[in-house]
């Protein structure tokens, strides 16, 4: 993930949205979605490739960008290589391995079958099935012969950008900082748009159920606010996501600091957060939309810590 840097001045409008909820709510509007025909699956926008590595880290996975995004948002909470008996699905080499359950098929072929299955779905219940456009991304890759992407989907992480430790699926990290707001979420997984600020959203929904979020996270006033601490709540604070088709999705930040969207986004994408006057922009591009996976207390995969308000 990338560093959010204070870059300038911009004025934008607000739209409705929630984050990290186990029930869907009003969503941000992507005006460019209506009446448009999706472009072919983007492969790469990077001119210099990061080293090869697993999905979720910003490294070069060898996967088409939208396929990588589906794996990151729907699969790697379980298929990370850390669970016994669960095959890792983190890069092209993983996807080309033969399936243990059916050696006549690769894991890529089996993955497509399972995400389309109504009797043996992946991810399994209580998780929602991938959205239709996400399944179409996998089908497009299959129809093209499951080709390897020659270059990376994201940019090289700037030197000294910080962060080394991946957050665990439960969103817990030791040595948290001081809760700047002085207030915490204490009501567990009850489906509120204010729930669990700072914790990973897509990964939690993969395991416990909840809506399929494309991008979700929490904005804080400092880099070190701990999990479940309520984040920044300025009334006009907005996160803006720009996808590979140059479409903007505007997400208001709610009273807990949370933001989210279920809009169809084409990876890779950029993010910035604004208060209507000042803007803090992410350095580079990402394919994973689970922002709090990298924007942890300590920072992971190139993120220096929390997403900070400008």
From the CB of residue 204, how many other CB atoms can be counted at a distance below 10 Å?
Answer: 24
Please give the helix or strand (H or E) that residue 250 lies within, else none: strand 248-252
Biggest CA–CA distance in the chain, Å, is 57
Query: Partners of 278 in the beta sheet?
Result: 9
40 versus 80: the higher-pLDDT residue is 80
Range with lowest mean pLDDT among 25-39, 111-125, 149-163, 197-211: 25-39
Query: 101-117, pLDDT tens digit by residue?
Result: 999 999 999 999 999 99
Query: 203-215, pLDDT tens digit by residue?
Result: 898 888 889 999 9
Confidence of residue 158 (pLDDT cuts 50, 70, 90): low
Confidence of residue 198 (pLDDT cuts 50, 70, 90): very high
DSSP tally for the chain: helices H, then strands E: 5, 8
Contact at 8 Å (CB) between 203 and 285? no
Q: According to the model, what pLDDT value does residue 59 have?
A: 76
Contact at 8 Å (CB) between 283 and 1? no
Query: Partners of 239 in the beta sheet?
Result: 251, 273
Q: According to the model, what pLDDT value does residue 3 have?
A: 54
From the CB of residue 147, how many other CB atoms can be counted at a distance below 10 Å?
Answer: 11
Contact at 8 Å (CB) between 268 and 43? no
Confidence of residue 54 (pLDDT cuts 50, 70, 90): confident
Model confidence, pTM = 0.78
252 three-state secondary structure: strand
Q: According to the model, what pLDDT value does residue 215 have?
A: 96
Q: Is the pLDDT of residue 67 over 90?
A: yes
């Amino acid at each position: 993930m990338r560093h959010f840097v204070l870059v300038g001045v911009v004025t934008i409008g607000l739209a409705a949205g929630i984050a990290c909820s186990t029930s869907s709510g009003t969503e941000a509007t992507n005006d460019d979605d209506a009446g448009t025909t999706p472009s072919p699956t983007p492969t790469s926008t990077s001119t210099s490739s990061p080293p090869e590595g697993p999905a979720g880290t910003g490294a070069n996975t060898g996967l088409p960008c939208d396929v990588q995004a589906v794996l990151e948002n729907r699969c790697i909470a379980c298929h990370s290589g850390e669970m016994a008996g669960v095959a890792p699905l983190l890069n092209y080499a993983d996807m080309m391995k033969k399936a243990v359950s059916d050696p006549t098929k690769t894991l890529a072929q089996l993955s497509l079958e399972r995400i389309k299955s109504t009797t043996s779905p992946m991810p399994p219940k209580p998780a929602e099935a991938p959205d239709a456009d996400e399944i179409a991304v996998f089908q497009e890759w299959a129809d093209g012969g499951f080709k390897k992407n020659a270059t990376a989907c994201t940019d090289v992480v700037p030197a000294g950008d910080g962060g080394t430790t991946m957050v665990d699926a439960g969103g817990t990290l030791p040595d948290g900082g001081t809760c700047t707001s002085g207030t915490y979420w204490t009501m567990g997984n009850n489906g509120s748009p204010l729930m669990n600020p700072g914790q990973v959203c897509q990964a939690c929904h993969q395991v416990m159920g909840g809506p399929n979020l494309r991008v979700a996270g929490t904005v804080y006033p400092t880099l070190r606010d701990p999990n479940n601490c309520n984040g920044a709540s300025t009334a006009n604070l907005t996160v803006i996501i720009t996808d590979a088709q140059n479409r903007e999705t505007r997400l208001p930040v709610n009273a807990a600091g949370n933001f989210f969207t279920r809009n169809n986004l084409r990876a890779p994408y950029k993010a910035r957060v604004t208060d209507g006057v000042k803007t803090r922009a992410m350095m580079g591009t990402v394919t994973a939309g689970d922002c709090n996976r990298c924007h942890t207390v300590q920072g992971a995969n190139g993120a220096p810590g929390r997403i900070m308000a400008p």
